[in-house]
Homo-oligomer: A and B are copies of this chain.
Amino acid sequence: MFNGAILVGASERQGGEPFFAIDPSTGAKGEVAFHNASAADVADACALADAAFESFSTLTPDARAAFLEAVADRIMAIGDLLITTAMSETGLPRGRLEGERGRTVGQLRLFAGYVRQGDWLDATIDKALPERQPLPRSDLRRVNQSVGPVAVFGASNFPLAFSVAGGDTASAFAAGCPVVVKGHPAHPGTGELVARAIAAAVRDSGLHEGVFSYLPGTTNDLGGALVADPRIKAVGFTGSRGGGLALMKIAAERKEPIPVYAEMSSINPVVLLPGALAARAEALGTAFVGSLTLFSGQFCTNPGLVIAIDSPDLDRFVASAAQALSGNAAQVMLTPGIHAAYEKGVAALAGAEGVTTIARGMAADGVHRGQHALFAASGEQFRANPALAHEVFGSSSILVKCATIEEVIDTIARMEGQLTATLQMDDGDQADAAKLLPTLSRKVGRVLANGWPTGVEVTHAMVHGGPFPSTSDGRSTSVGTLAMMRFLRPVCYQDMADAVLPPALQAANPWKLNRRVEGRLEIAR
């Protein structure tokens, strides 16, 4: 159950300005009073996280992996209450939330396996060369260590997979970092249920209570205080561009600046190449609308931009997409605020110079329903008005018509960084794809062929990241095992006594790690 508590380590606190969940499908206010965490809660949570750091960051891989699995088990043990609570707080349907729960616990278990495997430690050994001339070389051993306590800001659009126990928390735990979560006010009951599951796993696992705290709240001040706390050493955030930029500024202006991994804004260009259009324009139109409108388009990888060379085949795509979209019902959006911002963004596009409306979805039959929208513009018009490339969060997209593949490339080259780009291509399009790829690979974190960007697998090879402003740090991913690397830093030990070295670097290799010795990988598992 949940009762609106703030979780500071093992303690439950009430108090602070109350707030309530809203069911976006009806606008109804929930019954439980949640409470804004205070500056004192932030300070106490950070002090506990700092106190937990040494023991948590030096756990064996097996012990840390078991903790991640315990979190997964505890989340599943919440049962259907987690699903029904999330449904009422987000308007998302049961199937989607059950799938998201599966992804969330699967993610924790994937990290557990990767933590046990140990390659993330990047254990590297250069042995002493006592005979080297003119000077002997010391014994040098390097290993990745946890950066310190991490602040995590969950997203509204994935109340499980990108929230309290989402990818940021899972990867920070995997990397040995205590986590303080700023709970998202759009799904406070869901958040508290998951927070309690994590706290229970901390207790079950015999860990220091400071490994996890949960600070719900509605104010920017709360998040700002968390990022400003000197004990916090890195930040994970998924949300708006404005929110991410604000946290980046606070982090950069600290006495000790810290990295912020903010996943912010992307319109995810989809390029329809001529061969693919010729072969399957209608099918592409239908499939595109499926991706665009999935869960009201509330994905950071939503295809908000389609680029193609104008042609009769493109007209077939447009006709098919327009037909599919027109019959598509408006869906409940996550929050009244997100719905309002969507309507505003769509209205701005509809009224922008040179932009025509290809189609709208069916009108809303209730509150907070987003009516899907597809617009068109020429390449010239799109390039001339940067506002057309701003993300409209929800199912809104703009088709940009170019004259040549060179114009397509030029249009993408002028865009800001993106999470993804997609090529719809047939075998005959490979020459065009090869021309596009150098530009795409500079602009995005993931390039897809013949799929749609809205699915993000949690694997080793996944990159859910991209150049600014899609994220604040294009060297990172927030999904997949590589996400751990955001919360690690290398430390080198020189001529250190074997007994004092971290186990990963000891001569006997007690953790049986693959290690790089004299520049060559030595495989132990």
Contact = CB atoms under 8 A, between A and B. Distances in A.
Interface string A469-490: 1001111010001100000111
A461 B140 contact: yes
A142 B489 contact: no
A124 to B, nearest CB: 4
B257 A519 contact: no
Contacts of A455: 135, 138
A142 B463 contact: yes
Interface in A105-153: 113-114, 117, 119, 124-126, 135, 137-138, 140-142, 145, 147-148
Given A459-B140, A460-B126, A462-B142, A475 B488 contact: yes
Nearest to A459: B126
A496 interface: yes
A37 interface: no
A148 B490 contact: no
Contacts of A461: 124-126, 140-142, 492
Contact of A500 (B58, B119, B138, B434): B434
Interface string A439-466: 0011011111111000101011111010
Contacts of A256: 416-417, 467-469
A482 B474 contact: no
Given A461-B124, A500-B434, A494 B119 contact: no
Nearest to A477: B490
A360 to B, nearest CB: 29
Contacts of A147: 474-475
Contacts of A499: 430, 434
A160 interface: no
A80 to B, nearest CB: 19
Contacts of A493: 446-449
A448 B523 CA distance: 27
A248 interface: yes
Contacts of A514: 521
A373 to B, nearest CB: 27
Contacts of A430: 497, 499-500
Given A138-B451, A430-B499, A492 B463 contact: yes
A327 B125 CA distance: 40
Nearest to A148: B442
Interface string A399-427: 00000000000000000110000000101
A433 interface: yes
A457 B252 contact: no
A451 B137 CA distance: 11
Nearest to A110: B519
A54 interface: yes
Interface string A379-400: 0000000000000000000000
A437 B500 contact: yes
Contacts of A488: 475
A465 B490 contact: yes
A12 interface: no
A40 interface: no
A469 B254 CA distance: 12
A452 B113 CA distance: 40
Contact of A433 (B124, B467, B500): B500
